[in-house]
């Protein structure tokens, strides 16, 4: 286990669908001996239904309102690793909270990587009903400047998960040293 002695904040993974937030988050939590949590999972538990159903009944705005509430609760406690849904860091209040109570880590991936990694994702409402490459391209354009505000950005293209996790830990150590 790697110990980061000065870590007193939650590590919050942000980025687009397919970036690897949950997979990398679990691995990171395991290596650092921290609990892992996933905001989409917590939202589904709170709502008692799937993300698809939340979008169908409350719309994207309703989902985002719930997400904001749930993430605020998840940042209010002992440090952990938190994987967030792709829209979480876009909300200014949630972003400010994440940056205050946690350390935002953006897992960055280019369009080809995201196309490959979302190939089998069928439960993402935003990826339905259109050309996936076009949808993801527009999301990259709209969101990457905002994800770019994260304290740490890690490029994941062409990297195995193990290498990405190692890079995240190295970048975290440098970030904590610089504080
Ligand atoms: C969304 C991303 C999804 C989920 C919802 C909306 C988005 O989470 O929260 O479908 O707007 O980017 P992941 O980023 O974990 O796939």
Which residue lies with its CA nearest to atom 2 of ligand 1?
86
User: What are the pLDDT digits (tens) for 34-88?
Assistant: 999 999 999 999 999 999 999 999 999 999 999 999 999 999 989 999 999 999 9
Give pLDDT, residue 13: 98
> Distance between CA atoms of 39 and 42, rounded to whole angstroms?
5
Residue 6: other Cβ atoms inside 10 A: 10
Query: 178 C-alpha vs ligand 1 centroid, how far in Å?
Result: 31
User: What is the best residue among 124, 127, 156 to mutate for testing ligand 1's pocket, by most ligand atoms within 8 Å of CB?
Assistant: 124
Beta carbon of 17 within 6 Å of any ligand 1 atom: yes
How sure is the predictor about 4, in pLDDT bands with cuts at 50, 70 and 90? confident
* Mean pLDDT, rounded, for 144-165: 98
Beta carbon of 15 within 6 Å of any ligand 1 atom: no
For tokens 């504080």, what's the residue? 179
Give pLDDT, residue 1: 65
Q: pTM (2 decimals)?
A: 0.96
Beta bridge partners of 38: 83
> Distance between CA atoms of 42 and 74, rounded to whole angstroms?
9
Beta carbon of 85 within 6 Å of any ligand 1 atom: yes
- pLDDT of 179 over the 90 cut: no
Which residue lies with its CA nearest to atom 1 of ligand 1?
86
Query: 85 C-alpha vs ligand 1 centroid, how far in Å?
Result: 4
Burial of 61 (0-12, 13-18, 19+ CB in 10 A): exposed
**Could you tell me how far CA 160 lies from the centroid of its own chain?**
18
> Distance between CA atoms of 112 and 160, rounded to whole angstroms?
15
pLDDT above 70 coverage of the chain, percent: 98
């Amino acid at each position: 286990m790697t110990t980061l002695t000065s870590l007193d904040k939650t590590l919050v993974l942000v980025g687009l669908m397919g970036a690897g937030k949950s997979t990398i988050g679990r691995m990171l939590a395991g290596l650092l001996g921290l609990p892992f949590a996933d905001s989409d999972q917590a939202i589904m538990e709170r709502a008692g239904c799937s993300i698809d159903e939340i979008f169908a009944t409350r719309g994207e705005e309703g989902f985002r309102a719930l997400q904001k509430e749930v993430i605020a609760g998840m940042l209010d406690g002992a440090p952990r690793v938190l994987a967030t849904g792709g829209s979480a860091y876009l909300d200014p209040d949630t972003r400010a909270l994440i940056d205050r109570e946690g350390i935002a880590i953006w897992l960055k991936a280019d369009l080809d990587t995201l196309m490959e990694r979302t190939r089998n994702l069928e439960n993402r409402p935003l990826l339905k009903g259109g050309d996936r490459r076009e949808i993801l391209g527009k999301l990259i354009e709209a969101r990457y400047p905002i994800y770019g505000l994260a304290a740490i950005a890690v490029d994941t293209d062409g990297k195995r998960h193990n290498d990405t996790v190692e890079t995240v830990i190295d970048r975290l150590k440098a970030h904590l040293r610089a504080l």
